[in-house]
Chain A
Amino acid sequence: MKFTDVFLQTAIKILVFIIMTFSIYVLFAGHHNPGGGFIGGLITASALVLLYIAFDLQSVRDMMPVDFNQLAAAGVIVAVLTGTASFLFHVPFLTQTFTYVNLPLLGKTELASAVIFDLGVYMTVIGTTMTIITSISEDQK
């Protein structure tokens, strides 16, 4: 017997957008409000897991051809490289800086280098979580 998951799939198509948006919001809110890279990454991963539940592994992989192993590694590299920039400016490792910029649409915006570090954490968390979940769910080869 074949189940048709119309309800589940339709609901998840909408929900995933909401959850993704919320995770991005949480990621950027981290500097002044509760949130940050870790929790943002987990929320994004939970959205992806919902996709895996509603559809099968292969179709999600076709839709989003990302190697999560490499995403995690890239996250670590991004996070560490934000620290190594300090070698250029002759300040201690991992020193952060911030500046206010007038962006065309958003107006006066605070840009902090800590966000890039958080972005690295975010990528690593998504990569690690998804690697764990996809490799457990798959059979050997």
Chain B
Amino acid sequence: MSNVLILPIIIPLLTGMLMIFFRRHVRMQQWLIVISLLLTIGVSTFIIHRIFRQGIIVLDVGGWHAPYGISLVGDMLSALLVLIASIICLMCSLFAFGSTSNDHKVHFVYSYILLLLCGVNGSFLTGDIFNLFVFFEVMLISSYVLLALGGKKIQLRESIKYVIINVISSTLFVIAIAYLYSITGTLNMAHLSERVATIGQDGLLTTVSLLFLSVFALKSGLFLFFWLPGSYSAAPPAIAALFAALLTKVGIYAIIRTFTLIFYHQPEITHTIILCMAAITMILGALGAVSYWEIRKILAYNVIVAVGFILFGVGMRTFESLTGALFYLIHDMLAKALIFILGGAIISIFGSDKLRNFSGLLLFRPSLGWLYFIAALALAGVPPLSGFVGKVIILKGGITEGHLIMSVIGIVTSLLVLYSVIKIFIHSFWGETLLSEGDQKATGTSALLPGSILVTFIIAMGLGAEWVLTYVEQAAEVMTNPSIYIDAVFKQID
């Protein structure tokens, strides 16, 4: 039964709602969130397995066939992202158990984490563009609350900016959908793809596609990222890790989906623009990452660099580069969650994120230090770790396709990323020990369990790249050949 596709969406939703009844029972909420996330991970592994064996799963919600009803479409791309999102959500909640205050916990922080996951999983799985908008809003509204929860001055200031920018981009999203609907008369993505292919992508449709691009660029921090560093550095550590690993990636997924499935007829315009934006994003992100001396800012700019690099792979739109982009996307979700969790632990130990103020943590927290070191190497793409494979595939694609300047930018920004994260390592872990035991603000031990699990994933993904690539290639096949997707959605009618 294809009903299994709804489970990654409703398990977090129902558990999150159930928790509202046990507001004061923090321990019980923690058990509930772990159990429900393990269930979600299990279900999404099963979905991946089924897609690998039998192809794309389609669920016509309510029994109304596409294009009349809303269909949920699980192809390999969505299923992989759902699995990774659920894993990251579990890790960030494990980190949140120890790192957030009790005040946070009784004010429904776990409910909102689960609602965020509901929105993220829904965005990945939906096959209807208006439904995508709705799930975006589910995700964004939870993120507004998570960002503002705690009520510190900086959180309030940054959440105002964040809410305003997202309300504007959501409005643009609705307007773009309205234009698209008035041109094509349908909202189902597979049907849209068919209609756009029939009438041909003329100037009008290309304009609409650029409107979509600017909406998703605002959400994912591609070039229009001016809101991102501030709001990501205002959130509490566990929440920032969740944001960095999930929110921008949903925007990237939306770009991948719309520009490989619907608007792929004018690549010389749309995909060139994506490439240009990706190049500028990488440069500006890397400049930001090397110039700051605050951990939060450095990490936030690292998010931006990775967005640019992934979109570089997407913009070339060959089978190879899309494989690389998806591989790098998965790696980046894991690595960003990891480095934000570890960075958050460092900040909580020192009680400050100014790099110049502290040093010598390696004596006290050797395991934290070495976990951070591996995370930094993985982020830069050093061979045995997972960042390497994705980077190599994308850069190889870039060189064979003749995008030499882009590839050079990609390599140079990798070096700058490595410099920026190693700068954190050197300044916080090496040197004279300024702290004495008992002097630190927090123990930072809550980061060790999720940190080591994520490091295991990253090493396993680097060593078992061949095995991961069989799944990723199946996803890339759908991205390069939209008819597989369309046929799967419409198979019931024939």
Q: Which residues of A contact B (CB under 8 A)?
A: 69-70, 72-74, 76-77, 80-81, 83-84, 86-87, 90-96
Contacts and interface: CB of A to CB of B under 8 A. Distances in A.
B170 to A, nearest CB: 19
Interface stretch (B55-63, B159-167, B340-348): B55-63
Contact of B59 (A73, A74, A92): A92
B10 interface: yes
Contacts of A90: 1
B6 A76 contact: no
A77 B6 contact: no
B interface majority secondary structure:
helix
A140 B59 CA distance: 47
A115 to B, nearest CB: 15
Contact of B61 (A76, A81, A84, A92): A92
A93 B21 contact: no
Contacts of A94: 61-62
A72 B21 CA distance: 11
21 contacts: A69-B23, A70-B21, A72-B20, A73-B17, A73-B18, A73-B20, A73-B21, A74-B17, A77-B18, A80-B10, A80-B14, A84-B10, A86-B3, A91-B63, A92-B3, A92-B60, A92-B61, A93-B59, A93-B62, A95-B63, A96-B62
A9 B232 CA distance: 50
Interface in B41-98: 59-63
Given A69-B20, A70-B21, A77-B18, A93 B6 contact: yes
Contact of B17 (A77, A83, A84, A86): A77
Contacts of A95: 62-63
A76 B17 contact: yes
A83 B63 contact: no
B367 interface: no
B63 A80 contact: no
Contact of A80 (B13, B23, B59, B62): B13
Contacts of B63: 91-92, 95
Contacts of B60: 92
B288 to A, nearest CB: 38
Contacts of B10: 80, 83-84
B207 interface: no
Nearest to A78: B17
B18 A92 contact: no
B18 A93 contact: no
A59 B185 CA distance: 53
Contacts of B3: 86-87, 92-93
A84 to B, nearest CB: 7
Interface string B8-22: 001001100110110
B119 to A, nearest CB: 14
Residue picked from A76, A84, A93, A95, most chain B C-beta under 10 Å: A93
Interface pairs A-B: 10 shortest CB-CB: A73-B20, A73-B17, A93-B6, A95-B63, A94-B62, A76-B17, A92-B63, A94-B61, A77-B17, A93-B3
A70 B63 CA distance: 31
A137 B430 CA distance: 53
Nearest to A94: B62
A97 to B, nearest CB: 10
Contacts of A81: 14
A92 B62 contact: yes
A73 B3 CA distance: 23
A73 B22 CA distance: 11
Given A73-B20, A93-B3, 14 more contacts: A70-B21, A72-B20, A74-B17, A76-B17, A83-B6, A86-B3, A91-B63, A92-B2, A92-B59, A92-B60, A92-B63, A93-B6, A94-B61, A95-B63
A76 B9 CA distance: 13
